[in-house]
Chains A and B, each alone.
Chain A
């Protein structure tokens, strides 16, 4: 079974631009979560989608948004990029949204650099 895939793996943008990152979950998984990883703040939860609905949202500004499609693929969008948005963005999928028994599987991440 293929793992979680994220595209692109690396991205360079300039301040003020917007960016869209894509995540394809493991086949059969319906929940997709996004995390931001930076050296200063560590790993922080952005949001989770399940069956095309946002189930939970972290403490990020409205410039960060996401969506999920009917095939469970998810995208996250960051508008008006700032230097501080430079980070590794990780996507994780699992079979369902609730409960600890279904493990989250992480993708390799998209490394975003904002110049």
Chain B
């Protein structure tokens, strides 16, 4: 079975500082990887995804993530955060050929002015 571990439940950073949200996964088969963002009282919005090819993936709102197969990681980064980035971020995996997404527990990103 697949599993996703988001290593930090909460990450506080100052505005305009860089941030990295960590995600590790476990799977014996090839997977696709995703990062979603959830703003308060809203559903999930896809930030970016890794399907194949280049291991550095760029997404919306200035976010990017790097797939590292040897370390089974898919960390999310942004060089300079804004107050509007305050939200909960979810890493997810999808086994090739399967229907469902398996999510991590989420990381709450708080931006301080």
Contact = CB atoms under 8 A, between A and B. Distances in A.
Q: Do A and B come from one complex?
A: yes
Interface of A: 4, 33, 35, 42-45, 48, 55-56, 58, 90, 92, 97-98, 100-101, 103-109
B44 A90 contact: yes
A55 B42 CA distance: 26
Main secondary structure of the interface of B (DSSP, over half): loop
B100 A42 contact: no
Nearest to A103: B46
7 contacts: A42-B104, A42-B105, A45-B100, A56-B100, A100-B94, A107-B43, A108-B42
Interface residues of B, number: 24
A12 B43 CA distance: 19
B101 interface: yes
A108 B39 CA distance: 10
B44 A101 contact: no
A104 B103 contact: no
Interface of B: 32, 36, 41-46, 49, 51, 90, 92, 94, 96-106
B94 A4 contact: no
Contacts of B44: 90, 92, 106
A56 B45 CA distance: 22
Given A43-B90, A100-B94, A48 B42 contact: no
Given A100-B94, A106-B45, A43 B100 contact: no
B101 A104 contact: yes
A92 B92 CA distance: 14
A4 B100 contact: no
Contacts of B45: 106
B26 to A, nearest CB: 15
B99 A101 contact: no
A100 B46 contact: no
Contacts of B92: 43
Contact of B103 (A42, A48, A56): A42
Nearest to A4: B43
